[in-house]
Amino acid sequence: MDNGEVIPGLNEGWTFAGARPMEWGSGLMLAIIVQEFVFTGSPARTMPYFIGIIIGTAFLLKALRSSFPDEEKGVANYCMSQLGIEPPTIPAPSSLQPMWSGTPLQSLSERKEFVELGLMDVFLQSQEDDEDIEENEWR
C-alpha cells in the first residue's frame, strides 16, 4: 500500500487458537512420550489425558512465547543463557558476562575468577583515576 497504511499481522505465521504449528507439534510429541512411559491400560481410558497434554502444552508454549517481545528468539535466548551458553547475534547477558554487559550485575560472586584474581580492585582503581583526571581537566 502506497499511502503508508500498515496491515496488522501481515507477516504473522499460521496459528490455530493462537498457538503455532511447532507448539502443537511439541504438545503432540510430549503426549506420545507421556503415553508411552506413564500411562498403562487401554487408550480409550487415557485419551482425555492425551488430548489434555497436547492442548495444555501448546497453550503453555504460546504463553511463554508471548511473554517475550521478540517471541521465539526471546525464548531461545532465555533458555540458552540459563544453560550457560552465550545466545547468538546479541551481546552476552549480565549473568554470563557481568562486567562488560549492557546491564551489569550489582555485585559479583566471590567464586568468580574475576574476583579471585583481584581484577575488581584494578578496574575500580583505574576508573577512579580517570574521573580524577577528567575533573582536573575542567579546572
What predicted TM-score, i.e. pTM, was given to this entire model? 0.58
Residue 137 lies in a domain: yes
Domain that holds residue 131: 107-139
Q: How far apart are CA 28 and CA 72, in angstroms?
A: 19
pLDDT tens sequence across 78-114: 888 888 888 877 777 777 776 665 555 666 777 777 7
Q: How many domains does the chain have?
A: 1
Residue 127 lies in a domain: yes
Residue 29 lies in a domain: no
Residue 92 lies in a domain: no
Residue 41 lies in a domain: no
Residue 133 lies in a domain: yes
pLDDT tens sequence across 9-44: 666 777 888 888 999 999 999 999 998 888 887 878
Residue 9 lies in a domain: no
Q: How far apart are CA 100 and CA 120, in angstroms?
A: 12
